[in-house]
Amino acid sequence: MKLAVDAATTGDVLVLAARGASHYAVFGGYISLAMRNRGLAGVVVDGAVRDRDEIQSAGLPVFARGVATAACVPEAVGEINVPVACGGVVVRPGDIVIGDRNGLVVVNPADAAEILAKLEDLVARHNSWGGDIAQGNVPGIEETVARAHELRVEFIAGEYGGR
């Protein structure tokens, strides 16, 4: 892990595949300071970290499966700049990793423009729902019911009545 931190450059997101291990921490407070001072944009750990308060105080965005008190073996072997499985998703060197309190998204840079356009459409659609939401209506319900009928979905309680 220390070699991966040393190889990282400003703006990198370090993705550490610890196979979901929760009985030991991959890193803690001191290393999080080193990562922040190196300029990392964030860290994703498919495993546990320790020193949660110190990591939070360092201001480094860290996404981990959990927190453990035991440290890992510092001489553990691994690979750097190779595809890894993290949380059931393959992350390749150079992928765009975006996260917030709700979760993470991994985007292949070749797909970024297409995904951004779809995201902008989705945000515009959600923004157009304000009036429906304010009145307690479910936006797009007519289209959803029509599509369900096209797919021959059977409504168990009888025909959908709606409002």
CATH number of the domain where residue 105 is located: 3.50.30.40
139 in any annotated domain: no
**Domains in the chain: how many in total?**
1
For residue 127, how many C-alpha atoms fall within 13 Å in the half-sphere facing its CB?
6
46 in any annotated domain: yes
- Label the pairing between strands 96-100 and 103-107: antiparallel
Rounded-to-integer distance, Cα 42 and Cα 63, Å = 8
41 in any annotated domain: yes
pLDDT at 163: 46
149 in any annotated domain: no
24 in any annotated domain: yes
142 in any annotated domain: no
121 in any annotated domain: no
Rounded-to-integer distance, Cα 7 and Cα 21, Å = 23
Rounded-to-integer distance, Cα 134 and Cα 126, Å = 13
* Residue 77 lies in domain: 2-109
What's the distance, Cα to Cα, between the start and end of the chain in Å? 57
pLDDT at 161: 55
As a whole number of angstroms, the longest Cα–Cα distance in the chain is 64
Tens-binned pLDDT, residue by residue, of the chain (163 aa): 788 888 899 999 999 998 888 888 899 888 999 999 999 999 999 999 999 999 999 999 999 999 998 887 766 678 889 999 998 899 999 999 999 889 899 999 999 999 999 999 999 999 998 888 888 988 888 888 888 888 888 777 655 555 4
160 in any annotated domain: no
Nearest to 40 by CA among 26, 28, 58: 58
